[in-house]
């Protein structure tokens, strides 16, 4: 802004102020002083904090009455006027807050409009499915489980977040430690999880690796989710990956139990022989190739393992019942390993 324009602007402001005070007169000035005093006058000297929840959709009047009922404000109508005077009537954010009666109204309003609500720490473990993430967030009082799941399947949201087609955001909700307030809402939390995935995973170097390979990025995320569900050992991830890559090259079924579990409506902790024939595109005992999408949220290490498998000739692996696996290059050795670590273990158990 030029000096001439700045001077003209200041003169305009001054003229408006003169007009304002001329119209308002002494009564208006007294009104402003009273509002100022109100904003700086706490309800009482009581310093004890209490938790209040401002729910989404509450009007300014409802918020004022609610805080007054909790003895945090005097004169709820004055708070409404004070909020309008500050021009913040449309900026109050939902969430939980800690207030005490000794806090002046200006400070309470500042917290409400800045969104300085109570934050809850939530750690989403690697390998969690959408349903498990929804249950975890619901247990913290942050979302409604059904609402959260519905948001992860909303086509409009999927398109807006530019997630590959698949019907849901399974695999794209990044496992991480987050801090959320109760005013966030399911949609905002879903967006945060997906945006964190993009920030952590969709880095140029990883995307270039994916493009240079034989699998699409969506297939890499899908493969990573299988690796994540098969092992919790960092030293085994790339070996597990090598088995899946080798079987894909040889046109063998992947035959991985976690995909069967994902396909089951009700899983009681045991996979039975009949379960292996479930007719689902996620059942890798029945169908060749990768399932149509991820079966859980993989961590970055599993994604790197999917991109960078160990060089091996392994085609099979079986759990040793201690968290590790026995790897084999042929079916005969694999059968012996199953007998040693699975069948004998069950017999001895």
Residue 171 DSSP code: T
Q: Where are the beta strands (DSSP E) in the chain?
A: 50-54, 95-99, 120-123, 177-180, 316-319, 325-328
Q: Range(s) for CATH 3.30.1490.480 in the chain?
A: 14-114
In this prediction, residues 69-94 reach a mean pLDDT of: 90
Per the prediction, the chain carries an average pLDDT of 86
Q: Are 96 and 181 in contact (CB under 8 A)?
A: yes
Over its C-alpha atoms, the chain yields an Rg (Å, rounded) of: 30
Closest CA to 221 of 115, 292, 118: 292
The tokens describing 274, both together, are 């009949």
Q: Which CATH number fits domain 14-114: 3.40.50.970, 3.40.50.620, 3.40.50.1220, 3.30.1490.480?
A: 3.30.1490.480
Cα(289)–Cα(250) distance, integer angstroms? 10
pLDDT in tens, 184-220: 889 999 999 999 999 999 888 888 888 887 888 999 9
67 Cβ neighbours under 8 A, 6+ residues apart: 52, 73, 76, 79, 99, 108
Does the pLDDT value for residue 168 go beyond 70?
A: yes
pLDDT band at 6 (very low <50, low <70, confident <90, very high): low
Q: Which CATH class is domain 316-349?
A: alpha beta
pLDDT in tens, 126-136: 999 999 999 99
> Helix (H, G, I), strand (E, B), or coil: what is residue 154?
coil
- In CATH, the number for domain 120-196 is 3.30.1490
Q: Range(s) for CATH 3.30.160 in the chain?
A: 316-349
pLDDT band at 347 (very low <50, low <70, confident <90, very high): very low
Does the pLDDT value for residue 30 go beyond 70?
A: no
CA distance from start to end of the chain? 83
Positive/negative CA dihedral, 42, 45, 46, 47? positive
Beta strand pairing status for 95-99 and 177-180? unpaired
Other C-beta atoms lying within 10 Å of the C-beta of residue 12: 10
Does the pLDDT value for residue 21 go beyond 60?
A: no
pLDDT band at 281 (very low <50, low <70, confident <90, very high): very high
Q: What is the CA angle 23-26-30, rounded to 5? A: 115
**pTM of the full structure:** 0.79
Q: Are 108 and 80 in contact (CB under 8 A)?
A: no
Which pLDDT score is estimated for 348?
47
Which pLDDT score is estimated for 39?
83
């Amino acid at each position: 802004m030029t000096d001439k324009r700045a001077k003209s602007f200041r003169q305009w402001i001054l003229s408006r102020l003169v007009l304002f005070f001329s119209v308002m007169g002494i009564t208006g000035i007294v009104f402003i002083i009273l509002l100022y005093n109100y904003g700086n006058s706490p309800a009482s000297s009581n310093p004890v904090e209490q938790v209040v929840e401002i729910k989404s959709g509450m009007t300014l009047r409802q918020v004022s009455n609610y805080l007054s009922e909790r003895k945090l404000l005097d004169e709820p109508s004055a708070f409404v006027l004070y909020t309008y005077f500050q021009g913040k009537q449309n900026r109050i954010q939902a969430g939980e807050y800690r207030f005490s009666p000794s806090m002046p109204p200006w400070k309470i309003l500042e917290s409400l409009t800045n969104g300085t609500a109570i934050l809850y720490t939530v750690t989403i473990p690697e390998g969690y499915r959408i349903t498990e993430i929804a249950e975890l967030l619901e247990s913290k009082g942050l979302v409604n489980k059904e609402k959260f799941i519905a948001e992860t399947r909303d086509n409009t949201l999927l398109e807006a977040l530019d997630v590959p087609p698949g019907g849901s955001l399974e695999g794209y909700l990044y496992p991480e430690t987050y801090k959320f307030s109760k005013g966030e809402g399911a949609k905002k939390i879903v967006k945060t999880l997906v945006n964190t995935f993009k920030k952590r995973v969709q880095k140029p170097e990883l995307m270039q690796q994916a493009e240079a390979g034989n699998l699409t990025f969506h297939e890499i995320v899908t493969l990573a989710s299988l690796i994540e569900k098969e092992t919790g050992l960092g030293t085994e991830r790339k070996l597990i990956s090598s088995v899946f890559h080798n079987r894909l090259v040889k046109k063998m079924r992947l035959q991985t139990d976690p995909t069967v579990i994902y396909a089951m409506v009700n899983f009681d902790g045991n996979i039975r022989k009949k379960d292996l024939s479930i007719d689902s595109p996620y059942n890798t005992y029945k169908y060749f190739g990768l399932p149509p999408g991820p079966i859980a949220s993989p961590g970055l290490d599993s994604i790197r393992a999917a991109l960078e498998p160990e060089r091996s000739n392994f085609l099979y692996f079986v759990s040793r019942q201690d968290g590790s696996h026995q790897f084999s290059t042929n079916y005969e050795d694999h059968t012996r390993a199953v007998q040693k670590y699975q069948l004998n273990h069950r017999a001895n158990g």
